[in-house]
Structure 1
């Protein structure tokens, strides 16, 4: 950029970069886009002098009144930002590495797009203040133990059994509203049990199972995606394509019983529809109005049901699936209700990824890395890396046996 050109603000590149990195139509979705956008704006605030230490004034010269621009950036800038991230802000070393990686990736893109002359963020002097990476990813180490899995599934089994029994044994003269309340409780309990079993035993990523609000392609599995006879389920994989996932025997009965209580009007219904009352109320009002009903008629129709979810089933008003965040909230509550103890530095509940990782532990120990990789939809190399502690333990046993044999000689 020549000296006579007006300085180009850093923020002017953000939308285009995020669109290139986003997923879905128009590049509007994806977790990477969301996280990168957050870190880019933090970087811009720091460059403006708003997020640093008291003596940090930003990258713009003191005698200039403008936003941070590309001409202000050099390797010293990124060195200072690396030092800022690594300072005592309570961030773990791997988190610092992750946050800096978002900025470094943007810097590389800026070089390709002509905003910068060099990839300053990757130079050795720029990355020197970063802490060493110990190879662990933050939040990705929890694995449900067999005791935790059994405790949680036993709890949801009891919930579902009691709710279904209460609903199916109602006297014939039970008032309609009481029948609706009993059915709703049975729906809630069987939905939660089916969700827990799928997370615990299929090793499917929660983003493949439920709706991801940041990725429009991930709308959550529908009943048409399930084949309970064959024991399979079609999911949109992390590798950006549809693929079949296995439904092992423990999952089939909970899903069948839930389906029997739900009685979805069509197979295009989500397996796990949202139960959020405000969301469903807005959906019902909009849909019935679009069907030509007057506001008074809509109100009368809603008054016939104790919950709008039951009305959506009656009128085949298809709601959205619950989100991945919704699943985490459910798991948080159920972990507490079941009294499951969780000792983990990042998660105080049984997180969804822990169910997948726990199943991976079982598969690797029982069938080896090749079979586990196929079930987990990962490369064998990645599975060996993620579960390297198992092989290390087995080699330790071999060494112990060898030493024992030597002692006997």
Structure 2
């Protein structure tokens, strides 16, 4: 590929790079794109002298007044940026490695596109200031223990039972709005229970289950994608294709009860709709306006319901799914309410990915790496790497047994 002008500004390449790395139509979605965009912006600020230590003027020569360009880049620049990440921002060692990898990946892309003649970011002198990577991904090590899993599922189960019983046993003469409020609370408790059970027992990634605003293909699982009879659920996997995930027995009863209570107008409704008041209010207003209702008529219609979700159910106004961030907030609230003790450096609550990792622990110990890999939708190699502590413990037991056997033999021969 022909070489590009060295005068090209660094930031001119960012959008093209992010499109190549993004997901969905036009490369506009995906968590990688969002995270890479953030780090490229930080790198550009640093390179332009807008971020860094006092008196730092950036990578362009002091006698010119222009934004950083590719002619300013060499391995010394990346070495200084590695030093900046490692020392000036107080980041953990594995986080420094992660952030530097975003910049390094962009540098490699620039080589392929003809902007740079060499992958400066990967040269030994450039990476020398980086701290050693401990092999762990930041924040990705929490795993729900059996005790935590039982505590959170017991709590949400009891909470949902009380809410549903409170609604279904209301006296006939109960005020209509009080009935609506009771149904709303029962629906919310039933949704939260189903969400917790699915995260706790299916090992499905939360991004495969709920809506990701950064990836238009991940709009949240719908009822049409769940078969309670077969015990399966179709999800859009991390590998960018649809696949069936198992719904084990503990998950089926909460989902059946929840669906009966919700009675969705169509199977295209999200299994886990948002209950956010502002989001639902805006969504309902816009949909009713699209159906031809004027503002006064919309307000009157909404006044007939205690909550916009109930109006949406009645008029088949399909709401958006709960987001992955919304699920984290729910789990934080439920963990606090259930008074679950969580000892983790990043999360003081039961985070969604911890349910998946906890099930991985159970499966590896019970059935081995091959079966666990199939259930987790991962390669066996990756599962062995992530759960290597289990194999290490088992090998330790073997070593202890071997040492005991040797000691026994020696005692018999002396």
**Shorter-chain-normalised TM-score: which range?**
over 0.9
- TM-score under structure 1 normalisation? 0.98
Distance 2:146 2:89 in 1: 36
Partner of 2:80: 80
Residue 55 (structure 1) shift: 3.4
Secondary structure of the equivalent of 1:235? strand
Superimposed CA distance per residue, residues 346-385 of structure 1 (whole angstroms, 9 cap, x where no aligned partner) = 1111111100000000000001100000000000111011
Secondary structure of the equivalent of 2:112? helix
Distance 2:6 2:162 in 1: 70
Residue 168 (structure 1) shift: 0.5
Residue 88 (structure 1) shift: 4.6
CA contact (8 A) 2:18 2:33 kept: yes
**Is residue 158 of structure 1 aligned with residue 158 of structure 2?**
yes
**Is residue 236 of structure 1 aligned with residue 236 of structure 2?**
yes
Partner of 1:274: 274
**Is residue 209 of structure 1 aligned with residue 230 of structure 2?**
no
More displaced stretch, 395-404 vs 142-151: 395-404
Residue 403 (structure 1) shift: 1.5
Superimposed CA distance per residue, residues 312-338 of structure 1 (whole angstroms, 9 cap, x where no aligned partner) = 000000011010000000001101000
Partner of 1:191: 191
Superimposed CA distance per residue, residues 150-169 of structure 1 (whole angstroms, 9 cap, x where no aligned partner) = 11011101110110000000
Distance 2:36 2:294 in 1: 45
Partner of 2:412: none
Distance 1:258 1:45 in 2: 49
1:296-307 to structure 2, matched below 5 A, reads: 296-307=296-307
* Structure 1 portions without partners, runs of 5+: none
Secondary structure of the equivalent of 2:342? coil
Partner of 2:394: 394
Residue 407 (structure 1) shift: 2.0
Superimposed CA distance per residue, residues 268-313 of structure 1 (whole angstroms, 9 cap, x where no aligned partner) = 0000011111111111111111111122111111000010000000
More displaced stretch, 302-311 vs 107-116: 107-116
- TM-score under structure 2 normalisation? 0.97
Partner of 2:181: 181
Secondary structure of the equivalent of 1:348? coil
Secondary structure of the equivalent of 2:235? strand
Distance 1:207 1:40 in 2: 24
Q: Detail structure 1 runs of 4+ shifted over 3 Å in the superposition.
A: none
CA contact (8 A) 2:6 2:115 kept: no
Partner of 1:368: 368
Superimposed CA distance per residue, residues 105-136 of structure 1 (whole angstroms, 9 cap, x where no aligned partner) = 00011111111111111111111111111111
Distance 1:77 1:167 in 2: 65
More displaced stretch, 185-194 vs 54-63: 54-63
**Is residue 59 of structure 1 aligned with residue 59 of structure 2?**
yes
Residue 5 (structure 1) shift: 6.0
1:212-291 to structure 2, matched below 5 A, reads: 212-291=212-291
Superimposed CA distance per residue, residues 66-88 of structure 1 (whole angstroms, 9 cap, x where no aligned partner) = 11111111110001001111105
Distance 2:58 2:167 in 1: 64
Partner of 1:167: 167
Distance 2:180 2:140 in 1: 41
More displaced stretch, 106-115 vs 188-197: 106-115
CA contact (8 A) 2:228 2:252 kept: yes
Superimposed CA distance per residue, residues 194-251 of structure 1 (whole angstroms, 9 cap, x where no aligned partner) = 0000000000000000001110000000000000001000000000000000000000
Aligned length: 409
**Is residue 380 of structure 1 aligned with residue 358 of structure 2?**
no
Distance 2:30 2:387 in 1: 27
Distance 1:105 1:381 in 2: 24
Distance 2:304 2:167 in 1: 19
* Structure 2 portions without partners, runs of 5+: 410-414
**Is residue 9 of structure 1 aligned with residue 6 of structure 2?**
no
Residue 90 (structure 1) shift: 2.1
Taking a change above 3 Å as real, the CA distance of residues 406 and 274 of structure 1, as seen in their structure-2 partners, is same
Partner of 1:107: 107
